[in-house]
Structure 1
């Protein structure tokens, strides 16, 4: 067997015994990244002879398309001492490549110098396949929804040809449906290839795009004020989903459901956090707070809390719903 790191006592249990008992693959390297230890799970999973992946031999276990990416990330961690974390396809003893999460942390001495790296490999192949399957279904559903917009637009156009007096109305209706389709592009699930390459690059332009189907925006009853911020592709979808859901509900039950109703969206920056407020006024009076158990409410909370690492507060004031959303600036654009 290849050489092992110095055992660390945990009672009478050695490092090797502890590592071999773990369900994950465990490995260790010298400060320069030279791999000199793998636990029993590594050899059981890969089926390779003991010691054959020491040194730089480990990289040959990765899928050819993942090798350079893994090397680049590993070299970065060695140079900076930062956490090593990456997903790649690792060759199983069956010959198949299966998705794995690789992580490693440095062990430092009292002077702060790295004396060893200890890492793990976790099999995430099933989770990746389930996520990909769900993603394909979501994209297919979104594609069909967009096709419905196109079909409805075509039907309106054909109907307008029969009734000349409805031509002006049909043009406005078609414009609204087209705007709804464009907004849908920013709130639907995307793959890396299908994500919009051009479009809103700031918070205010994103909100304007998502809210463009609602006449209140053009009429000045739906306003967007405050500081603007750069928004990247990672955050555009959750932000778009939240405000699309708020606007949809306001159109059904809230301030945007009546001609005199108004909505004010305000953005402000506080201590490296972005604060967004949604304030409805002059709509139907709120008698009591509704029970929020629907899909839209859960989607809103997932978007803010999990995807943007933020928090969301709702105030069902008699004069209208008020929502406060806060999340770190780092959640909406990469530094």
Structure 2
């Protein structure tokens, strides 16, 4: 029950305390220890919320210690209606109106408003007030709490601003943007996604997105996505996505995981880029390249045939014609390496790594009396990406050597040495016994420029040329990882 605590002069009560009443039906030996009034006061004073009690007419007669610590006030200053002094004057009329309505109706009261702290800063509090009634249902007390929510509201406001900015940013992007929960559940697509697919908003949430993929790509896309979810590896795939026109277009899909400070994945962020036009142009370029290569190889074959039917019938002439025809055929094979390639014309054909590739490229320059070139050093594996630019460079060096360098004279030789130095593969092309070399050429041909760009731009390598008196020396350095 509630007891008045008299003031020091014994005239008026300034606070109240609770005194527990034990049930007479419970044995003293079995009953749990019941907190005393000091315990209740200790609990009330140390609650994290600001607490207070008021009479039925709204006159506040008690505040806990948290209230005074926060507001920097005294019980005497706050008693009754003194609490209005720590309220924002602009908000106070609304607070008073709501509070008076609750007093009149006896209904609970809840409201958000600022309270000034001891530092003179207003912070927003969520205030809840409940009535305490007697057996007749009459309000005899009001119990109130004020919980600071300023930090939470600021965080929510900042989040709303951040989300609004993200929405504007993603909708302004030319790509389709989406995100998922850690388990892969799709919960967001930007406006571009719905513009492209034409599907209703929200219809592709969850696993519904797979339905707009081409039937032939669904299983592959789903499998790669599940692999990324299990391993945390980036997701990347090309697939066909149904456009709102009903036509399937090629899309490049990518997704990366977002991790927290502990390394756990909290979200996946992905993009879909329309590459249909680029892919069709690449396919057309590949077709044109293959057609051009086919025609060039036919020219080589025609030349070899003409040599065969035009040569004298003597045994020596026939042998010479056969040797020349063989070189032309080999030049055709070397051309097949040096031309641009696409995915459908991958050029790796079991040539045994870098040395095999070099041997195939240099085979047109064999002579019946002896090989004009030598390949030595450490062999390394060569992939599709690096074979074409390498072939382009070696083919260019060999044809220039035939026109101007060591292979333009009978005694001239070319030594090709390969080596692995730390993380670099070094290829040295050294010409000897050819025409004297004095100065670098005044102009650089297109073929040389193209081969240099291939090595530097495509493979991240470097080329150094030295016009030594005994012959041209070219040093090519390429990161091993790029081969």
TM-score (norm. length: structure 2) = 0.63
Q: Is the 8 A contact 1:201 1:232 kept in 2?
A: no
1:110 to 240, 261, 264: 261
1:33 to 155, 165, 184: 184
Distance (Å, rounded) in 2 between the aligned partners of 1:192 and 1:277: 29
**Residue number in structure 1 paired with 2:277:** 126
Q: Is the 8 A contact 1:8 1:15 kept in 2?
A: no
Distance (Å, rounded) in 1 between the aligned partners of 2:240 and 2:158: 30
Q: Is the 8 A contact 1:7 1:16 kept in 2?
A: no
Using a 3 Å threshold, how does the CA distance of structure 1 residues 11 and 36 change in structure 2: closer, same or farther?
Answer: closer
Q: Is the 8 A contact 1:216 1:256 kept in 2?
A: no
Using a 3 Å threshold, how does the CA distance of structure 1 residues 169 and 8 change in structure 2: closer, same or farther?
Answer: farther
Say if 2:475 is the partner of 1:317.
Answer: no
**Residue number in structure 1 paired with 2:331:** 180
CA offsets 1:131-155 (integer angstroms, 9 cap, x no match): 2221111110000011112111221
Q: Is the 8 A contact 2:252 2:273 kept in 1?
A: yes
Q: Is the 8 A contact 1:30 1:36 kept in 2?
A: yes
**Residue number in structure 1 paired with 2:287:** 136
Q: Is the 8 A contact 1:84 1:103 kept in 2?
A: yes
Q: Is the 8 A contact 2:179 2:187 kept in 1?
A: yes
**Residue number in structure 1 paired with 2:480:** 329
Which deviates further from its counterpart, 245-254 or 67-76? 67-76
Using a 3 Å threshold, how does the CA distance of structure 1 residues 12 and 35 change in structure 2: closer, same or farther?
Answer: closer
Q: Is the 8 A contact 2:465 2:472 kept in 1?
A: yes
1:241 to 392, 396, 399: 392
Q: Is the 8 A contact 2:365 2:371 kept in 1?
A: no
1:57 to 208, 211, 220: 208
Say if 2:432 is the partner of 1:281.
Answer: yes
2:373 to 208, 222, 225: 222
Using a 3 Å threshold, how does the CA distance of structure 1 residues 242 and 69 change in structure 2: closer, same or farther?
Answer: farther
| Cα distance, 1:275 vs structure 2 | 1.1
Distance (Å, rounded) in 2 between the aligned partners of 1:76 and 1:219: 55
Using a 3 Å threshold, how does the CA distance of structure 1 residues 70 and 7 change in structure 2: closer, same or farther?
Answer: farther
Using a 3 Å threshold, how does the CA distance of structure 1 residues 22 and 196 change in structure 2: closer, same or farther?
Answer: closer
Q: Is the 8 A contact 2:323 2:368 kept in 1?
A: no
Which deviates further from its counterpart, 232-241 or 200-209? 232-241
1:97 to 239, 248, 258: 248
1:145 to 268, 286, 296: 296
Which deviates further from its counterpart, 317-326 or 257-266? 317-326
Q: Helix, strand or coil for the counterpart of 1:212? A: helix
1:87 to 217, 238, 241: 238
Q: Is the 8 A contact 1:30 1:117 kept in 2?
A: yes
**Residue number in structure 2 paired with 1:44:** 195
CA offsets 1:30-84 (integer angstroms, 9 cap, x no match): 1111111000011011111111111122122222232223223222222222222
Say if 2:445 is the partner of 1:294.
Answer: yes
Distance (Å, rounded) in 2 between the aligned partners of 1:284 and 1:137: 39
| Cα distance, 1:94 vs structure 2 | 0.9
Distance (Å, rounded) in 2 between the aligned partners of 1:55 and 1:109: 23
Distance (Å, rounded) in 2 between the aligned partners of 1:301 and 1:33: 45
Cα RMSD, aligned residues only: 2.5
| Cα distance, 1:128 vs structure 2 | 1.7
Gaps of 5+ in 1: 1-5
Q: Helix, strand or coil for the counterpart of 1:14? A: helix
Q: Is the 8 A contact 2:417 2:427 kept in 1?
A: yes
Distance (Å, rounded) in 1 between the aligned partners of 2:423 and 2:409: 37
Distance (Å, rounded) in 2 between the aligned partners of 1:326 and 1:218: 33
CA offsets 1:86-140 (integer angstroms, 9 cap, x no match): 2222211111112222111111111111100111111222222222221111110
Q: Is the 8 A contact 2:416 2:430 kept in 1?
A: yes
Using a 3 Å threshold, how does the CA distance of structure 1 residues 168 and 7 change in structure 2: closer, same or farther?
Answer: farther
Higher normalized strand content (fraction of residues): 2
Q: Which has the higher contact order (CA 8 A, sep 6+)?
A: 1
TM-score (norm. length: structure 1) = 0.88
Q: Is the 8 A contact 2:347 2:387 kept in 1?
A: no
| Cα distance, 1:199 vs structure 2 | 3.5
CA offsets 1:232-288 (integer angstroms, 9 cap, x no match): 344332222221111111111112212232221111111232111112223223333
Aligned length: 327
Using a 3 Å threshold, how does the CA distance of structure 1 residues 7 and 287 change in structure 2: closer, same or farther?
Answer: farther
Which deviates further from its counterpart, 41-50 or 121-130? 121-130
